[in-house]
Structure 1
């Protein structure tokens, strides 16, 4: 075997493909903006920075370019990693790499949760790469041709490396990610983040974040940066330390960026924090709302959301200039025939346009999965994915025996998707968001960026403004927001662009769910459940 640690070892890093039918893979919007995919593969860019820097790296993101035989012919070693929806494509890449004689290193959330599914890989580097990649490299130096590397230790974020942002083309992506923290202080039963990264949020130092922003600036990136943290405000004390420094740096560099992130809804309890986020131009925040029903929240241990009137909380976030994208889940144990209606009203009344409604999925190694196993309700083979039925939380899910009839849950799911992605209802929410949003946009685009934005606006106007289903709604909403709250127009146009994707994607989800209903009906519910247990 070659000495892999030598200078010049050629390392091919592969981001496997996500389906174009996934909720988050808004290809239509990418085409409008001139990009190829929403977000750059931050995890793999971090891996590249953790590997020997005397190596030569080539990153191929299958979402923006094809993975070709010559890539494998170039490589001495192949590295890949990913999440549950990428499972089939990752396993396929392992086979391709072996066909070309390349050893394969695999890591990331799904291999960490289900390493047995990736036994065909030569090296399994599990958990947090900052801890386990050094173990892998130590073994590689000894000439090891295979191995599994794992540790219960957590990475020290204060010594985290700067990702290799130089390996990507910024024009291929709508946004570039930066990670400030890992872990979440809460204890939601269904969440795998606290299992993977712990309940004590660990953050980088303020200086590290400034260093990453500066590196991106020097490489030429301008525009959207997404803080990919699962809960950006998990450690409020440290967040309040870094935001003033980001503001100072942004002022010195004439605000080259605007930001988005994910946060728990208790951000609304801290108006000082929201003002600090507004001051550095945070424009979008994803909030895990899950359900408006407090009794369901208690059962699933999402206590931070209890006694939080959703519309009131969302309005408060709008008042600080941030558009709220919301995550919702159907399929909790103590739902009723009123659940769907409550969820529809919650989404509509709060004006949340980007509402990700998924079916409950018992992820590997979560409290929920362990409880369902104890209760004899989990379909054990459910985390082995095949075909188009498992692209994201909207197509997979209910991988267990539900407490209310499965058909009822599936029919409610169709009801919700039909309602919230009905053009009239969606544009009502665009209008609500546009009128209630109070942005203070500080990002200063270059002249070329302005021209690019104008071109994107013209494309949205052509697609949405002259569509049979949305034409009248688009122009009426645009004029309404323009006259009453001009600062909300940019967000309104962005949401109209998103509907171009959601209109297609929701039709796909409805058709897929109807097929699932047919399958359950053809078996009968009890027989369907028995057949799922038999597959284990």
Structure 2
């Protein structure tokens, strides 16, 4: 079998880092770990060609060569996902699809003509798909009634990657999360019992990347790295000597729940292992909204104090925030702004609440008759109003979203936050805390940063050089971290304008202009009008 494995294009989003990646001379943020794991599950006698379309488009010859096209996608990649399916069908190729998007909405893939739907987790469903091929079945859907034991998962095919095209590599230790946040589809996809790989598996994956020549940053892509704290501590205790023996070839970024701040021993182990940053799902500083969305783990201790503890442990904080929870009071966007200003989180990811299919939120809203007619058609898209009828006017939520995003990523405000955050971080005595970029690319990145922020913009020029001098005097070991954050700002300065335009199109008015008079209509009528 000649199999062509494709990973679809991402649109421009908060996480696409387009401008920053171009400045750094790379094509994509991280590689797609799921389809690389699927590649390891395919028969060794198959001939495989893999292309991440975010790095480079596949040659037409590969389409002529292949017998089977395999596509994996997240919801945000839907447009290119359907394009690839339709192209394969038009060319008479069999198409197999998998990943979070078709798993959540299999009917979408079927409507575009996919033949084989390899859903849920591949360790169970890929063998079922291969057995169906052996029997000569022309199509089929393959689902798992249980969760696989990830301690038996194969090593991803990192050798298929054009590794120098990525900012970071990716490794996964666990799947699943013990919490029960109403809006989150991770627990519907992977369950509430975190399943972890064995330590030797992770060390073997790191050794594979080492042998392939990778040196730099690695994203530990677990949705909650500390979901199973006992096993995480076991891993870190084995990872520390491995890193030391290999002279710290990597540093790590991951995602975790805010209760990480309650575990000083775990924070210390992460620092010793080479972790430089963590993404936290803070969502909102409004305690009542956290209760509504079942995120009780964020209500046990003050969130500002949690951020301070994590900074003091040597970790850069990245964080997610959401507008649109039921019962949310007016001004939620401004309260998020105030929280971000107080904690100096450099890159707050602000989004508008969506109800993903198969989540508790989706089920509740469906029962209440509050889902919009095309609720599954826009789910996963950033810069999109809610796919349901919210408890307050959608125009207010959209305006607060754009206004908060616009002000938080005003260039001078952003740079000031980067400075304060880096000044609050405790330098890691064990290893570097910046996102690694090869030396030649680092020189290019620095030159472009100086041009854009230190020379080209008169409004930033003085601030850029003053803050650079302050960092050099007070936190010289974190200077590279600071410069990297500043450079990433070039993406966000463009992204906020894109968000303004997208939401403005849906509202029918620039969200930064004074609000028009509110007509006397119901909330549902207002949402349906905005959707139209």
What is the TM-score when the length of structure 2 is the normalising length?
Answer: 0.94
The reply to whether residue 459 of structure 1 matches residue 448 of structure 2 is yes
Per the alignment, residue 55 of structure 2 pairs with 64
Give 5+ residue unaligned stretches, structure 2: none
Q: C-alpha displacement at 1:248, in angstroms?
A: 0.9
Equivalent-residue separation in structure 2 for 1:530 and 1:221 (angstroms): 50
Contact 2:26 2:164 in 1 (8 A): yes
Contact 1:14 1:80 in 2 (8 A): yes
SS in 2 for 1:232: coil
1:418 to 402, 406, 410: 406
Equivalent-residue separation in structure 2 for 1:253 and 1:423 (angstroms): 39
The reply to whether residue 99 of structure 1 matches residue 87 of structure 2 is no
Q: C-alpha displacement at 1:531, in angstroms?
A: 5.7
**Structure 1 pair 141–200 and aligned structure 2 pair: CA distance change class (3 A):** same
SS in 2 for 1:14: strand
Per the alignment, residue 5 of structure 1 pairs with none
Q: C-alpha displacement at 1:454, in angstroms?
A: 3.1
1:110-121 correspondence to structure 2 within 5 Å:
110-119=101-110, 120-121=113-114
Equivalent-residue separation in structure 2 for 1:162 and 1:256 (angstroms): 20
1:382-393 correspondence to structure 2 within 5 Å:
382-385=375-378
Per the alignment, residue 484 of structure 1 pairs with 474
The reply to whether residue 171 of structure 1 matches residue 164 of structure 2 is yes
Q: Deviations over 1:293-343 (max 9, x none)?
A: 111101110000004322221121111221100000000011112322211
1:485-504 correspondence to structure 2 within 5 Å:
485-504=475-494
The reply to whether residue 32 of structure 1 matches residue 3 of structure 2 is no
Moved more, 409-418 or 237-246: 409-418
The reply to whether residue 79 of structure 1 matches residue 70 of structure 2 is yes
Per the alignment, residue 3 of structure 1 pairs with none
Q: C-alpha displacement at 1:396, in angstroms?
A: 2.5
Q: C-alpha displacement at 1:467, in angstroms?
A: 3.1
The reply to whether residue 473 of structure 1 matches residue 463 of structure 2 is yes
Equivalent-residue separation in structure 1 for 2:288 and 2:195 (angstroms): 31
Q: C-alpha displacement at 1:393, in angstroms?
A: 5.2
SS in 1 for 2:438: helix
Moved more, 509-518 or 284-293: 509-518
Equivalent-residue separation in structure 2 for 1:448 and 1:518 (angstroms): 42
1:346-361 correspondence to structure 2 within 5 Å:
346-361=339-354
Report the RMSD for the aligned CA atoms in angstroms. 2.1
Per the alignment, residue 435 of structure 1 pairs with 423
Per the alignment, residue 312 of structure 1 pairs with 305
SS in 1 for 2:327: coil
Contact 1:438 1:487 in 2 (8 A): no
Contact 2:70 2:96 in 1 (8 A): yes
Q: C-alpha displacement at 1:357, in angstroms?
A: 0.2
Q: C-alpha displacement at 1:66, in angstroms?
A: 1.4
2:387 to 366, 380, 399: 399
Moved more, 363-372 or 53-62: 53-62
Contact 1:438 1:488 in 2 (8 A): no
Q: Deviations over 1:159-196 (max 9, x none)?
A: 11000000001110000100000000000000000000
Q: C-alpha displacement at 1:444, in angstroms?
A: 11
Give 5+ residue unaligned stretches, structure 1: 1-8
Q: C-alpha displacement at 1:244, in angstroms?
A: 1.5
Moved more, 202-211 or 510-519: 510-519
Equivalent-residue separation in structure 1 for 2:305 and 2:36 (angstroms): 39
Q: C-alpha displacement at 1:152, in angstroms?
A: 1.8
Q: Deviations over 1:196-253 (max 9, x none)?
A: 0000000000011011001111111110111000000000000000011111111111
Contact 1:256 1:444 in 2 (8 A): no
Per the alignment, residue 330 of structure 2 pairs with 337
Q: C-alpha displacement at 1:397, in angstroms?
A: 4.0
Per the alignment, residue 3 of structure 2 pairs with 11
Q: C-alpha displacement at 1:473, in angstroms?
A: 2.4
SS in 2 for 1:174: coil
Per the alignment, residue 367 of structure 1 pairs with 360
SS in 1 for 2:354: coil
Equivalent-residue separation in structure 2 for 1:80 and 1:448 (angstroms): 30
